[in-house]
Amino acid sequence: MVLKTALLFAAASILTAQQSAEPYPLAAGNYWVYQGRNVDPSMTYAQGRLLPPQTKKINFRCKITKVVYRKGLKSPAITAAAFDNFPTRSGEVILLNVNSRMLYVVDYREASDAPRILRRVRNPRDDLADLLRETPMISMPLAPGKHWAAAIEEWSVLRREHTSLRGVRGAEAAANLEGFILETGSNTNNTKLDFVPGVGITRVFAESLFPRGDPNHWEFDVKLVEVHLEPPGATAH
């Protein structure tokens, strides 16, 4: 009984330390490689012919190109990282880490928007209200049953996941870290994320609300196959 109690305490201590660290390792040069498949819905040609759903293999890399920090006594601590790609998006985004607890994905349309957003993050007088009004993708600490929402979007934690890093190159040292499966939905699709604090997103599965077999159904399913993490703060700007 004493040994069992000690093991449970050790496991809880590891989890607490893991979740108290930076949830997403934001350092310039960090990258994550994903592989999987994309199922496109049916398409109708001009002649009226229906092209059946197409399944394509996909392979892409998400890399952090720049990181900036806000450090102020009267404002929350914020780290902003510019990604050249992101597993839940198509194209460039900025990820905002607020107080090491809330992670927001900020989309932008023009390349010139990224430097402007990063300058705003550096300015402690800018409350970033327009950027932080959406629902955060991650709300730490994570635990099964937890949910958070803003406006109409809601995220929830379905369960813990112990195999999120199995077979991932570059993650051998972190292979025993505990992950979580998160879920969100909208009026068009559902999305599930496997997330490991300290490593990042290890899987994305999204599908339309149209049932499989419907010509309008689509799916997106990718898994992390390689990760490279620089030492924290090694390339701060």
**Domain ranges across the chain:** 2-228
- Could you report the per-residue pLDDT of 80-131, keeping only the tens digit for each? 999 999 999 888 999 999 999 999 999 998 888 999 999 999 999 999 999 9
Q: Minimum mean pLDDT among 16-25, 27-36, 112-121, 225-234: which range?
A: 16-25
Q: How many CB atoms lie within 10 A of CB 45?
A: 8
Q: Which residues contact 186 (CB under 8 A, 6 or more apart)?
A: 152, 153
pLDDT at 1: 42
Q: What is the dihedral of CA 17, 21, 25, 26, to 10 degrees?
A: 180
SS3 226: strand
Token representation of residue 15: 């989890």
Our measurement of the distance from residue 151's CA atom to the centroid of its chain's CA atoms, rounded to an integer in Å, reads 20
Split at pLDDT 50, 70, 90, the class of 21 is low
Query: Closest by alpha carbon to 32, among 231, 204, 201, 220?
Result: 201
Token pair 């102020």 is at which residue? 72
